[in-house]
Amino acid sequence: MGYMLDKGAHSVYALQYHFIQVVKYRRRIFRDERVVDFLKQNVRKISESFDVEIIDLECDKDYFYMIFKAKPTLDIPKYINALKTISSRELQRNFPNIKEELWKGILWSPSYFLATTGQVTLDVLKRYVESQGK
């Protein structure tokens, strides 16, 4: 199985990430499908402006997760901050009833989960690297 690679001017890369963002205090604000659709559209729009390709984006009652591809030049903290700030502001502006369910109007938990994903398992990659020394 070969890699699905992206190319830059002087690089070849395959960078995929798994991201999870939880609503502060796990408030279940994503019960309305209109709110979920709005969040997804908003996240896609923000991601587009950062040249990030969303592979998968789903939402549960109190969090959303996505898998995305990015270039090596992506400023990940800046991207995540933009996702959190803009989506919070726009959700609360377009769905004022959400604010009533939040603590002090804070939508997102300050922490998040981010992991790189691979096209091969870690064991396969370790075996490859170890075989290079022989």
Average pLDDT over all residues of the chain: 90
80 vs 129: CA distance, rounded Å? 32
Per-residue model confidence as pLDDT tens digits over 54-111:
999 999 999 999 999 999 999 999 999 999 999 999 999 999 999 989 988 899 999 9
In order of their start, the domains of the chain are: 6-132 (3.30.70.1290)
pLDDT(38) > 90: yes
Q: What is the pLDDT of residue 118?
A: 74
pLDDT band at 1 (very low <50, low <70, confident <90, very high): very low
